[in-house]
Amino acid sequence: MALHDILTRMTPKVLDGTAIAAEIKAEVRHSVEALAHRGIVPGLAVVLVGSDPASEVYVRNKVKSSGELGIRSLLLTPAADITEAKLLALLAELNVCEDIDGILVQLPLPKHIETRRILEAVDPGKDVDGFHPVNVGRLQIGQESLVPCTPAGIMQVLHRSGIPIAGRDCVMVGRSDIVGKPASTMLLNEGATVAVCHKGTRDLAAYTQRAEILVVATGVPGLIQPEMVTPGAVLIDVGINRLDRAADVERFFPADEGRRATFAKRGFVLMGDIDPRCYERSSAYTPVPGGVGALTIAMLMHNTVKAARMRRGLA
């Protein structure tokens, strides 16, 4: 084997989510401009109940991205003690509002509100999070629909990085309704053989070791260890975890000066569910931060324009 081939094989490719997100946002901006020629400005309503600090940051970023791409956004911030009936009434108004194409209810909701009931009250045609049962069902049967943003982002990373999916052994670790289940369905719909693992899986490594594409969304920092990864696998890390103990930073990033400097400055660093020592065994991987996380808002913007087009029969 030529030295070049050996080196190419040995150097895993970093799948740059930030660059892919920028590409998608540029396409969205283009679509928004095309709609503007028809006198259409896509509108996104973001409903944030209460004042959870993490949710406030997410919502701010969504509103900011909308503005940058020419999407009109409407931020609604009812107090944490809003009744379920009032929140349902608000959604009913947004459902019939002509200027609104996408409706997003930021989760989690306060405990006295039943999340399922709220998500089901959003018009499926405006459901830019893809959480309504109608859209979940459409995804399941492979029908065009609005699909959840983070799993859609995972698929964009794979597609735009030229990673083939059909016929490949994929393992999805995590089975949440917002990431694991829809992501596994999308992979299956594209012809992969998919195993879905979760907290109750008895021998996780026996599955992950088979994976040509390993997608992990558990919220357990460093769950995936090097011996659980087959050489040459593609690693997609959805986990976003905050490490705020020096011992953990030492353990996961013993040689990463940059990360240790960030910890010294901010008191925490972010890491995924895949131990970074797995990277060298892979053919390609998404870093954390700067991987899948960067795609979610781009896909929300994409879904908003898609909803605007679908509602007018333009899709």
Which CA distances in Å does 216 have to 46, 122, 179, 183, 188?
A: 28, 29, 9, 10, 16
> In angstroms, what is the minimal distance from the CB of 297 to ligand NAD?
8
Give the separation between CA 181 and CA 193, rounded to whole angstroms: 14
Identify which of 169, 124, 160, 145 has the alpha carbon closest to the alpha carbon of residue 19: 160
Residue 181 annotated among the catalytic residues of the structure: no
Q: Does residue number 245 form part of the binding site for ligand NAD (CB under 6 A)?
A: no
Residue 225 annotated among the catalytic residues of the structure: no
Q: Does residue number 198 form part of the binding site for ligand NAD (CB under 6 A)?
A: yes
Bridge partners for 271 per DSSP: 241
Q: Does residue number 270 form part of the binding site for ligand NAD (CB under 6 A)?
A: no
Q: Contact, 187 vs 166, CB < 8 A?
A: no
DSSP state of 276: G
Give the separation between CA 31 and CA 191, rounded to whole angstroms: 29
> In angstroms, what is the minimal distance from the CB of 148 to ligand NAD?
9
CB closest to ligand NAD, residue no: 176
Q: 104: burial class by Cβ within 10 Å (0-12, 13-18, 19+)?
A: buried
Give the separation between CA 296 and CA 315, rounded to whole angstroms: 21
Among 75, 88, 134, 240, binds ligand NAD (CB under 6 A): 240
- Which range in 43-51, 89-97, 103-111, 167-175 contacts ligand NAD by CB under 6 A? 167-175
* Closer to ligand NAD by Cβ: residue 125 or 222: 222
Q: Find the helix or strand (DSSP H, E) in which 186 lies.
A: helix 180-189
Q: Does residue number 195 form part of the binding site for ligand NAD (CB under 6 A)?
A: no
List all residues 6 or more positions away from 138 whose beta carbon is below 8 Å from its beta carbon: 144, 145
> In angstroms, what is the minimal distance from the CB of 196 to ligand NAD?
9
- Which range in 19-27, 81-89, 158-166, 211-219 contacts ligand NAD by CB under 6 A? 211-219
Q: Contact, 173 vs 216, CB < 8 A?
A: yes
x/- string (CB under 6 A) for ligand NAD, residues 279-308?
-------------xx--x------------
Among 12, 42, 124, 180, binds ligand NAD (CB under 6 A): 180
Among 75, 97, 204, 310, binds ligand NAD (CB under 6 A): 204
* Closer to ligand NAD by Cβ: residue 24 or 90: 24
x/- string (CB under 6 A) for ligand NAD, residues 147-166?
---x----------------
Which residue's structure tokens are 């890491």? 271
Among 60, 116, 159, 199, binds ligand NAD (CB under 6 A): 199
Query: In the structure encoding, which two tokens stand for residue 185, read together?
Result: 């369905």
Give the separation between CA 3 and CA 186, rounded to whole angstroms: 37
* Degrees, nearest 5: CA angle 174-219-201: 35
* Closer to ligand NAD by Cβ: residue 173 or 308: 173
Q: Does residue number 312 form part of the binding site for ligand NAD (CB under 6 A)?
A: no
- Which range in 60-68, 163-171, 199-207, 274-282 contacts ligand NAD by CB under 6 A? 199-207
> In angstroms, what is the minimal distance from the CB of 39 to ligand NAD?
33
Residue 5 annotated among the catalytic residues of the structure: no
Q: Chain-centre distance of CA 238, in angstroms?
A: 7
Which residue's structure tokens are 């333009």? 314
Which residues lie near ligand NAD (CB under 6 A)?
150, 173-176, 178-180, 197-199, 201, 204, 217-220, 223, 238-241, 292-293, 296
Active site members: 62, 106, 129
